[in-house]
Amino acid sequence: MATADRGWAFAWRKALAGAVLGLVAWTAQANIFVTDRRQQSDASLPPLRSVGLLHHAEAGVGGTAFLIGACHALTAHHVAFPQDLAAAAGRAGGGRASKAQFLVGADPARPGQFASRSRVRVVAKGRFWGADYAGMAGDWALLKLEVCLGRQYGFLKLGRVAADSPMPTGALMVAGYPRSRAHLPGITVERGCRARDHGPVNGLVGIDCAFESGMSGAPVLEHQRGRGWQVVGMVQQTLGSVDGILPDYSMLHRNQMLSVSAFRKEVEDALRAEARRVLPPPGAR
């Protein structure tokens, strides 16, 4: 291995060590680069109205989730299965989802109040394992809602990104519910951030959008010509989180998204399987 390659590999290993610790601890720190561009916005406007909160009342934890169909939402595996964080090096894809509710329709004047809610169950999930990068690429979970809130709030479209070229080239928008802003009404939105690197496995992309606790599972959106807002990724985690604002982006303080290329096919296959289950049998009236 060349000297440059050894240095690159060492940087990935060093970043990974901080990533596992940060994931288990559910740190409230955020990696913010150059300037904090986040603002509170009206959650009743599209595409923001399709973004909600997954809340585990038993554990008192949660994260962001977003509607991708009339009766389905998507979030990070470690948000759907929060107890797995206590054993991030446990078996891949393991865990039992605690009782959770999807909340949507944030009140524009009253922080923490949502107009609608539904119980959910996990119907498909990636093989998440927090101790290595390959396992991080499985950090997604598909939720089925008891109440089909997508009919009221609309849903987001999954973009098409090549697995071997996962970095979006345009300006990005991230929307979610960070814990540090739970006292503020509306939804937290950052516009104008960008993808900065990708790897070391397909599906993991570093972006310079600000991340912090509560944002896991949030959609990363890109406005594409002729297609409108498309989901190009999902907030996964922060590596090497620190207090304060960093002067520039770096891999050691990487904010990592899961590219849509890592989960789109499996999610669409699961949605088709769900649709077949509710269709009447041939010949039925």
Please tell me the predicted confidence (pLDDT) of residue 161. Answer: 79
**158 DSSP β-pair partners:** 231
What are phi and psi for residue 166, nearest 5 degrees? -80, -5
Q: Where are the domains of the chain?
A: 11-274
pLDDT at 279: 56
Is residue 130 within 8 A of residue 20, CB to CB? The reply is yes
Taking residues 38-53, report their average pLDDT.
Answer: 96
Which of 6-15, 39-48, 78-87, 247-256 comes out lowest in average pLDDT? 6-15
pLDDT for residue 283: 60
Under DSSP, the state recorded for 243 is S
pLDDT mean over 122-141: 90
Closest CA to 55 of 5, 18, 100, 108: 100
Q: Is the pLDDT of residue 41 over 90?
A: yes
* Strand blocks (E) in the chain: 32-33, 39-41, 51-56, 61-67, 72-75, 101-106, 114-125, 141-145, 157-158, 172-176, 187-193, 195-198, 204-207, 219-224, 228-238, 245-246, 255-259
Kindly report, residue by residue over 62-106, the tens digit of the pLDDT: 899 999 999 999 999 999 998 754 444 344 444 445 579 999 999
* Max mean pLDDT range (108-122, 129-143, 233-247): 108-122
Show Cβ contacts of residue 2 under 8 Å, excluding neighbours closer than 6 positions: none
Specify the range with the lowest mean pLDDT, choosing from 52-61, 115-124, 200-209: 52-61
Judge if the upstream peptide bond of residue 108 is cis by omega within 30 degrees of 0.
Answer: no
Helix segments in the chain, DSSP class H:
3-25, 77-80, 133-136, 150-153, 264-278
- Spatial distance between the Cα atoms of 264 and 279, rounded to a whole number of angstroms: 23
Asked whether the predicted pLDDT for residue 275 surpasses 70, the reply is yes
pLDDT score, position 97: 52
What pLDDT, on the 0 to 100 scale, is given for residue 281?
Answer: 56
SS3 223: strand
Average of per-residue pLDDT values in the chain: 83
| pLDDT for residue 114 is more than 60 | yes
Residues contacting residue 47 through CB under 8 Å, at least 6 positions apart: 154, 156, 175, 221, 228, 229
Tell me which of 164 and 47 has the higher pLDDT.
47
Domain 11-274 is of which CATH architecture? Beta Barrel (2.40)
CB atoms within 10 A of CB 70: 14
Q: Note the pTM of the prediction, 2 decimals.
A: 0.85
